[in-house]
Every structure is written in C-alpha cells, then in structure tokens.
Chain A
Amino acid sequence: MTMRLAADRVLVYGSAILLALWVLVPLYLIAIAAFSPQNAIYEYPKRLVPTELSAETMQFFLNSRGVLPSVVNSLIVAAITIVLGLGLGAPAGYALARFRFGGRDAFAVLILATKMFPIAILSIPLAVTFLQLGLYDSLAAVALVHTAMALPFIILVTSGVFVSVSQELEEAAQTLGCSRWTAFLRVALPLALPGLAAAAIFTFVISWNETFAATILTLRTRTLPAQVLTSLDQSPLYFKFAGGLFMVAPAILFIFFMRKYLLNLWGGR
C-alpha cells in the first residue's frame, strides 16, 4: 500500500518536474543570453552558468529604434482590449450562465464557431475596411481586432465563472433588499472577481502576443511583436534573445502576481 503511494508520488512529481523543465530550460537559456554581454552568445561550448552578467544586451534591445514606442503601443492596445473585451464579453457570459433564452445553445456554438475563421483569411477584408473607415494604422484598429479574437474566450470563461457563483446567492441578496443590479454588484461580482481577473490576464496575454493582425493592420504604429517581427531578419542574434525575454516577461510576471491573488482571495476555503 505504502509502496504504491510512494510510487504514485514519484510518478506525479517526476512528471511535474519534467513538464516544468520543458518550459523552464528554454526560458533559462533565453534569460542568460539576454543578460550576457553581446559576444557571449557566439561562444562555444555554451556555459550553463553565465560567467559574466551584463545589462548591455537588454539595453541594446530597448534602445533600438522603435522598440520603446512599440512597447507603449502594445500596452495601450492590451488595455483597450481588456476593457472592451470584458465590457462586452462578461455580460454575454453572465447571460449565458443565468438565463434560459431561445437560441441559447446555438449562440454558444456560434461563439466557438467564430474561432474557426483563420485571421489570415480575414486580414485583407479587414485591412480594406479599416482603410475605408480611416482606422488603418491606428491602435484602435488593432485593439478592435484583438477584442474580436479574445471575445469567444472571454465569453466562455466568464460564463463558467458566473455559473460557479450560485444563483441562490443573488436571489438571497434580492430578498434582503438588493435590486438585481445591486445584488450583482454586491454578491456575484466580488465572488466572480478571481475568475474575471484570470480572464483579464489571459486577454492581456492574447493581445500582447498577437503578431499577425498587428502586422497587417499597421505601418508605423506597431505593437511590440509586429515591430520585432519586421526587424527580425536584420537583427543580430542577441537582439532576438533580449526581445524574446522581454516579450515573455510580462506574461510571467502577471501570472505570478495574479496566482497569489487567485489563491489567497477567499483564504480558508
């Protein structure tokens, strides 16, 4: 019995370690490359422990032309995407979770079906439309497309979040003096917050990483991935490593920060 338990533990932890290494080793190698002097990248054999740490490579990347403005652009686009996406998606998710309306199932399937449209096919008509609307090469255009891309995900996740908040809680609040709206604000929203935060993080990551639409729809107002992509073939190797680390970093930081929030929120449960 104890033998089996021990074997189970070895298996579980062994798999967990393998999975973690799968992600961590490349990240680690990218991180050393990004924080080593520029020429260290061409050394062979590679050292697993860096002999000399330096911010020189990272500085080179950040000071390259167009990088900092594109970081700002990326942040603006992600912020607009989160606001628009949650503003439109969370109410839709709430409706899916709470109300039985005609065509509800068809609606749920339709949301998923929009995911089947490859952005590559949509990009030309989109570019034409945005040109006609005068939105081409603007952050608003990119944010709109990112919102459209993130919406199915946001709707399905938030509907799951609201399903997990018992409807009886909102009804109880209503019998205690709340309107439907205040019952939502006072009871459902605080309980849904960790889930909504998770949806927001994921939306951020979708927008921050999205390259294709951002590249097609802009010329000068580039987001970071679009900027890095267009200069990729002319850049030195160390630029790519620094750029890679920089683009991964916010996602990692965000998830570390939110993970704590997610686990601690209703501590004791």
Chain B
Amino acid sequence: MSGITIAGVTKAYGKTPALRDVSLNIADGEFMVLLGPSGCGKTTLLRCIAGLEQVNAGKVLIGERDVTTLPPRDRDIAMVFQSYAVFPHMTVAQNIGFGLKMHRRPADEIARRVGEGAELLGLSPFLDRYPGQLSGGQRQRVAVARALVMDATVLLMDEPLSNLDALLRLQARADLKRLHGEVKRTTIYVTHDQVEAMSMGDRIAVMRDGVIVQCDAPMSIYDRPATQFVGGFIGSPPMNFLRGTMSGGTFQGDGFQIPATAAVREGPVVLGVRAEHLTIAAEGVPAMVQVVEPLGSHALITALVGKTTVKVQAPVDTPVRPNEQVRLAVDGARVRWMDDASGAAIDAPA
C-alpha cells in the first residue's frame, strides 16, 4: 500500500508562512487535487512532498516510509512540472528514458519501457525528435510519459495543463483521467482551475492562505462548501450569498424574508445558494433582473436582491427581461447557512 500521509507540515519562506500545520491523508491509488488561488500554498505543498522543499516542521510519509528529510530521488516519486521541464538537449526518447538511465536500468529494459510509455501517450512517431520540434501539447505528453515510465509509487503534477490552449486542455484533461484509470497510481494534482479539479479528482483539497479549508469528494464540496470562500471558489457561477438575520425561525434580509429550512441559530447569518437552486416563481425573494444571458442549455440571469447581486440558472425560454421585478424561490433543501463573521458553514448534521 502506498498512500501518502502529511502530518502537521509547516513551511515558511523567511517570515512569510506558506504552509501552516497542514495535514492530509491520501489513499493508495487516489487522485487527489490540491485546489486554490495563486499563493495559497498548493504548489509549496506539492514541492514538499516531492522533496524539492524542506519542511520546517511536520512529517511526510509515503506508504509507511518517513521521507521527510530524503532528497527527491530517494522518495519514489515522479513529477510533471508546469513548464514541463522537458530537457531541450535530449531527444524525446532520451527524455522519457532519462529517469530509467539514472536508475541504471539495463539498456534493453529502457528501450522497452520508453516504447511503452511513448505508445501510451501517442508519442511513438516523435521519439527521435528534439523538444524544440514539438508542439506544446506534445511536450506536455513527453513530460507525462517521462514521469509515468518511472513506475514510481506517487505521481505529482503541478498545473500540467495550464500552458495549453483551451481546446487542447479539454482533450488533455480527459487523457490524464483515462491514464489514471489505467495505471491506478496515487496522484497529487495541483491546479487553480476548479473545473479541472471537479472533473478529475477523487477528492479535492481546497487550500487558502497555507491551510486546507476543506477536503472532500468534488460533489460534496460543491453541495456542502465548508466556508463562503469554498462556495465562491468552486462552481461556475459561484455560489450566491445573501446576508441577513435569523430570528424566530425566519431569515430576514435586505427587502426579503424567508422561513428557515433547518434549525439554524439566531443572529446574523449568511444564506448560500447555488444558481440552479433558485427559480423564478410567483412567491419568494423579490429581485430586479439586470442581465439575461442565454447560454444554449440554460439562461443565466443576473439579478439584484436588495444591493446583492445573485445569479440564477433558468430555462432558456424564461420570459424575463432586464429591469423586470421577479420573485426567486429558494430550494430550501439545497441551501447552506454560514456564519456572518467567520464565513464558516453552520452544520446541521449532513
């Protein structure tokens, strides 16, 4: 078994903290995504696991092995870099075989495994080319093949798709997911793209300011974000938030009041609700339509509730126009109540 255990890892650059007491368990064969805005510490965490950074405190275990102080080459990891880091002075075949050569594998084994890796990623016709003669997408595949042929216990990927254009990224995303299905390698994947995270991860660890805010399966995070930040970061459009006060079982906000759906404590709270859980109806929260964007499968309506902008996902044929007063029904079963001050979700037992 070769999961990964990260226990209380702390890392600072000078006086700037990058990771604060981060703990995370990753199961064998799991595809774990580290997601967060730039500067949240996700790449630093990945580099600490790779051994490219030394932690200030805490432990990193791969399987049962404590690798906290080991150099990268002794950790049994392989990594795909954001820039791909394909060696420009070596051919594709030499690039893919570099790691095996450094591990002193016999030449015939190197040749066989390079062939297999190239085959897996559709690079067989390019083995004798230099990286300078390849497209961005091909270089990215060389980097993935080079990491895969190592047969390392753990595969680390640092935003491997961020330098590809949009169309290629879709393709590569599906390819990587398929590859993970085939090789079943424990994978840690760093990205700032929540769509990538949602579509690829078995679980997502959402990071902010050097801590993991929430770690769960994609749909759980989508449905039950632990904080306002997570709700706003995951999902497109982001979750809507309405501020108000809870008193006597009624949620009272700027120009509206709705009955509370769960036992939520009294006082100032925030109501979080996804665009698809708001519907235009006869009853509900009064709102002023501002923009209607037909998007083919549905229409995205931007409206004002009091002074707060909300996004509503409605059927394309919804007969509303800008500057029209409507009412929004809230799907009470799918809302998320949050503390007004801290932004943390107020959890009724899920």
Report A's interface with B, CB cutoff 8 A. 166, 168-169, 171-180, 182, 186-187, 190-191, 266, 268-269
On whether A266 and B102 interact (CB within 8 A), knowing A166-B83, A176-B146, the answer reads no
B233 contacts across to A, CB distance below 8 A? none
B320 contacts across to A, CB distance below 8 A? none
* Binding stretch for chain A, among B84-92, B191-199, B254-262, B301-309: B84-92
Docked-complex contact B88 and A175, CB < 8 angstroms:
no
A179 contacts across to B, CB distance below 8 A? 71, 73
Docked-complex contact B102 and A172, CB < 8 angstroms:
no
On whether A176 and B81 interact (CB within 8 A), knowing A191-B89, A266-B132, the answer reads no
B143 contacts across to A, CB distance below 8 A? 172
Q: Of B52, B133, B156, which one neighbours A174 at CB under 8 angstroms?
A: B52
A182 contacts across to B, CB distance below 8 A? 102
Which chain B residues in 128-150 approach chain A with CB under 8 Å? 130, 132-133, 143, 146-147, 150
B212 contacts across to A, CB distance below 8 A? none
Docked-complex contact B150 and A176, CB < 8 angstroms:
yes
Chain B, residue nearest A167 (CB): B85
> What is the bound-complex CA distance between A174 and B99, given in angstroms?
9
**Interface 1/0 per residue, B91-109 and A, CB below 8 Å:** 0000000110011000000
Chain A, residue nearest B143 (CB): A172
Q: Of A171, A191, A268, which one neighbours B81 at CB under 8 angstroms?
A: A171
Docked-complex contact B89 and A190, CB < 8 angstroms:
yes
On whether A171 and B85 interact (CB within 8 A), knowing A176-B150, A177-B103, A268-B130, the answer reads yes
Docked-complex contact A168 and B81, CB < 8 angstroms:
yes
Docked-complex contact B88 and A176, CB < 8 angstroms:
no
Chain A, residue nearest B131 (CB): A269
> What is the bound-complex CA distance between A180 and B156, given in angstroms?
19
Question: Helix, strand, loop or mixed for chain A's interface?
Answer: helix
> What is the bound-complex CA distance between A187 and B101, given in angstroms?
14
Docked-complex contact B133 and A268, CB < 8 angstroms:
yes
Q: Of A166, A178, A180, A268, which one neighbours B85 at CB under 8 angstroms?
A: A166
> What is the bound-complex CA distance between A168 and B89, given in angstroms?
15
> What is the bound-complex CA distance between A171 and B87, given in angstroms?
11
Q: How far is the CB of B142 from chain A (nearest CB, A)?
A: 11
Is B60 on the interface with A (CB-CB < 8 A)? no
> What is the bound-complex CA distance between A169 and B146, given in angstroms?
13
Chain B, residue nearest A182 (CB): B102
Docked-complex contact A172 and B81, CB < 8 angstroms:
yes
> What is the bound-complex CA distance between A266 and B130, given in angstroms?
9
Is B72 on the interface with A (CB-CB < 8 A)? yes
On whether A269 and B132 interact (CB within 8 A), knowing A169-B85, A174-B73, the answer reads yes
A168 contacts across to B, CB distance below 8 A? 81-83, 85
Which chain B residues in 6-52 approach chain A with CB under 8 Å? 50-52
Q: How far is the CB of B227 from chain A (nearest CB, A)?
A: 33
> What is the bound-complex CA distance between A175 and B79, given in angstroms?
7
Chain B, residue nearest A166 (CB): B83
> What is the bound-complex CA distance between A172 and B132, given in angstroms?
18
> What is the bound-complex CA distance between A256 and B133, given in angstroms?
27
Q: How far is the CB of B327 from chain A (nearest CB, A)?
A: 54
B133 contacts across to A, CB distance below 8 A? 268
> What is the bound-complex CA distance between A24 and B83, given in angstroms?
44
Q: Of A174, A187, A268, which one neighbours B132 at CB under 8 angstroms?
A: A268
Can you spell out 8 A-B residue pairs with CB atoms less than 8 angstroms apart? A171-B79, A172-B87, A174-B72, A175-B79, A176-B102, A177-B73, A190-B89, A266-B89
Chain B, residue nearest A193 (CB): B89
B98 contacts across to A, CB distance below 8 A? 173, 176
Docked-complex contact B89 and A176, CB < 8 angstroms:
no
> What is the bound-complex CA distance between A16 and B98, given in angstroms?
44
> What is the bound-complex CA distance between A166 and B89, given in angstroms?
13
Docked-complex contact A175 and B89, CB < 8 angstroms:
no
Chain A, residue nearest B129 (CB): A268
Is B77 on the interface with A (CB-CB < 8 A)? yes
Which chain B residues in 153-194 approach chain A with CB under 8 Å? 156
Is B78 on the interface with A (CB-CB < 8 A)? yes
> What is the bound-complex CA distance between A169 and B79, given in angstroms?
12
A266 contacts across to B, CB distance below 8 A? 88-89, 130, 132
B51 contacts across to A, CB distance below 8 A? 174-175
Docked-complex contact A178 and B73, CB < 8 angstroms:
yes
Docked-complex contact B87 and A169, CB < 8 angstroms:
yes
> What is the bound-complex CA distance between A44 and B146, given in angstroms?
72
Docked-complex contact A176 and B78, CB < 8 angstroms:
yes
Q: How far is the CB of A264 from chain B (nearest CB, A)?
A: 13
> What is the bound-complex CA distance between A266 and B86, given in angstroms?
14
Interface centre among B50, B73, B133, B147 (most CB of A within 10 A): B73
A187 contacts across to B, CB distance below 8 A? 87
Given contacts A171-B72, A179-B73, 20 further A-B contacts (CB under 8 A): A166-B85, A168-B82, A168-B85, A169-B85, A171-B79, A172-B79, A172-B81, A172-B143, A173-B102, A174-B51, A175-B156, A176-B78, A176-B150, A180-B71, A187-B87, A191-B88, A266-B88, A266-B130, A268-B130, A269-B88
Q: How far is the CB of B166 from chain A (nearest CB, A)?
A: 24
Chain A, residue nearest B132 (CB): A269
A177 contacts across to B, CB distance below 8 A? 73, 99, 102-103
Chain A, residue nearest B83 (CB): A168
On whether A176 and B83 interact (CB within 8 A), knowing A171-B52, A266-B132, A268-B133, the answer reads no
